[in-house]
């Protein structure tokens, strides 16, 4: 809980700093410091044993000046209002960074889907859509998957929404299965985006990806696809980890073997005896470090021991603000989460565009468009950091917040 409060207040602090640097007034900060709308719902669900359980859900809409709000729905026991609010603000930043015609939104339900049957999860998903149906829609607020939600859950949700509206509405939600209007490339989009950022950062630092030593914390959806992309690009992935520990081989790990053996929760190290701790993993001698697991991993305590010259944040919030400063002072190039993990929302946007026009693209087209969008975003933020003399995180917030701030100004809201 304290961590979430911290996430919310630290997001507010950086937004304030970014707006001040950009020359906006205090009134603009007052508008953007929290979501315009925060909706709390109670969802009764008939459980398999015949009892009724009432779940709490949220939907936050940070700001819709630049377009409909957009953001995932998280199913997790620790979901809470502060976290949903902070994450909706991050979505505004990501949309601004990649220049998508959206504002930020986010949703969540306090539940543990790992303890529920498929039928219970389906009834909960449909109940959530009924509860929020009035405030969402293809040109209002567009949900997507997030932690513990997937394309099957998106399918139930779009089905429920289409029933309520009485016409097929694929553009109501993204992250759908391909047969229901999903986009090619969506599943791997986050890791693709991280990969593009790594390539751009390596160019800036004169590091050749072929033979570069890469360490990845986390071997789930983001970390495992990323390990594969790096391996295929000729990099040496010398360290990976999961919740139980890490694996290290200075000569490079056998990524294909590890991918083959990992379980669906991203666990792999339990199959090995010679493991290292996650703390040791982060401090390994390497060129590129990618935290792709959980938040608050690089802190004041260990920032001085990080040996990588490039840190690319695939996870949300893996580096504290104090550690960000230490790394910047040490000359480490840090590619912040709001930029590095924006591949997912970018391909979600492509999915929504395809649904709206009813014309579908190949995976090559999606990947080419993603590449163009992220290289442009990276360059924009890198240039901003250089010309304004700020670190990459503050530069990303400056680029990210500007679109919504300008749109709010033109609309006469501030």
- The residues assigned a catalytic role are 106
User: Do 216 and 293 form a contact (C-beta atoms < 8 A)?
Assistant: no
Stretch that binds ligand NAD, among 17-25, 198-206, 211-219, 376-384 (CB under 6 A): 211-219
Residue 56 or residue 316: which is nearer to ligand NAD going by CB? 316
Q: Which residue is nearest to ligand NAD (CB)?
A: 220
Widest CA span of the chain, in angstroms? 63
Determine the distance from the C-alpha atom of residue 43 to the mean position of all C-alpha atoms in its chain, rounded to a whole number: 26
Nearest to ligand NAD of 166, 273 (CB atom): 273
9 SS3 class: helix
Q: How far is the CB of 174 from ligand NAD (least distance, A)?
A: 12
Considering only the stretches 57-65, 235-243, 253-261, 384-392, report the one whose residues sit in contact with ligand NAD under the rule CB under 6 A.
235-243
> Does residue 241 interact with ligand NAD by CB under 6 A?
yes
Cβ contacts of 406 within 8 Å, gap of 6 or more = none
DSSP secondary structure of 54-73: EEEEEEEE---SSSSEEEEE
Span interacting with ligand NAD, options 100-108, 198-206, 291-299, 383-391, rule CB under 6 A: 291-299
Residue number, 269 or 404, with CB nearest to ligand NAD: 269
Q: How many residues bind ligand NAD (CB under 6 A)?
A: 22
Nearer to ligand NAD, 103 or 218 (CB): 218
380 contact partners, CB below 8 Å, separation of at least 6:
97, 399
Helix (H) or strand (E) holding 109: strand 103-110
- CB within 8 Å of 30: residues ≥ 6 apart: none
| 88 sits near ligand NAD (criterion: CB under 6 A) | no
220 binds ligand NAD (CB under 6 A): yes
Distances (CA, A) of 383 to 24, 330, 390, 399: 20, 19, 10, 10
| Minimum distance, C-beta of residue 31 to ligand NAD, in the bound complex (Å) | 26
What track of x and - describes contact with ligand NAD for positions 268 through 287 (by CB under 6 A)? ----------x---------
Q: For residue 81, which of 101, 107, 52 has the smallest C-alpha distance?
A: 107
Q: Is 71 in the site for ligand NAD (CB under 6 A)?
A: no
Residues that bind ligand NAD (CB under 6 A): 190, 217-223, 241-243, 266-267, 278, 292-294, 314-316, 341, 344
């Amino acid at each position: 809980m304290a961590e979430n409060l911290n996430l919310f207040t630290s997001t507010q602090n950086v937004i304030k700093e970014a707006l001040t640097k950009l020359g906006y007034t205090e009134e603009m900060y007052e508008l953007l410091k929290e979501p315009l709308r925060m909706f709390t719902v109670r969802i009764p669900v008939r459980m398999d044993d015949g009892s009724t359980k009432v779940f709490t859900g949220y939907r936050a809409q940070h700001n819709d000046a630049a377009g409909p709000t957009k953001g995932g729905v998280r199913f997790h026991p620790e979901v809470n209002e502060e976290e949903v609010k902070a994450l909706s603000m991050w979505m505004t930043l990501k949309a601004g960074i990649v220049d998508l015609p959206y504002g930020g939104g986010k949703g969540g339900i306090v539940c543990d889907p790992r303890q529920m049957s498929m039928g219970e999860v389906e009834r909960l998903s449909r109940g959530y859509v009924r509860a929020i149906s009035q405030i969402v829609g293809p040109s209002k607020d567009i949900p997507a998957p997030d932690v513990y939600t997937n394309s099957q859950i998106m399918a139930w949700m779009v089905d429920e929404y289409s029933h309520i509206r009485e016409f097929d509405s694929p553009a109501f939600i993204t992250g759908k299965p391909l047969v229901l209007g999903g986009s090619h490339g969506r599943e791997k989009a986050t890791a693709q985006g991280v990969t593009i950022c790594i390539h751009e950062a390596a160019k800036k630092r004169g590091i050749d990806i072929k033979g570069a030593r890469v360490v990845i914390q986390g071997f789930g959806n983001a970390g495992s696809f990323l390990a594969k992309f790096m391996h295929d690009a000729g990099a040496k992935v010398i360290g990976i980890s999961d919740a139980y520990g890490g694996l290290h081989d200075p000569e490079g790990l056998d990524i294909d073997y590890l991918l083959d053996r990992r379980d669906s929760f991203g666990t792999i190290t339990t199959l090995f005896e010679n493991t290292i701790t996650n703390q040791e993993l982060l401090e390994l001698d390497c060129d590129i470090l990618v935290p792709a697991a959980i938040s608050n991993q690089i802190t004041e305590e260990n920032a001085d021991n990080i040996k990588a010259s490039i840190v690319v944040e695939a996870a949300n919030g893996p580096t504290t603000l104090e550690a960000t400063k230490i790394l910047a002072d040490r000359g480490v190039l840090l590619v912040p989460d709001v930029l590095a993990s924006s591949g997912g929302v970018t391909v979600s946007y492509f999915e929504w565009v395809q649904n709206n026009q009813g014309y579908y693209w190949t995976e090559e087209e999606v990947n080419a468009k993603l590449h163009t969008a992220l290289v442009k975003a990276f360059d924009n933020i890198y240039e901003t950091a250089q010309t304004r003399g700020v670190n990459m995180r503050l530069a990303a917030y400056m680029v990210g917040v500007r679109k919504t701030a300008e749109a709010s100004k033109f609309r006469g809201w501030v």
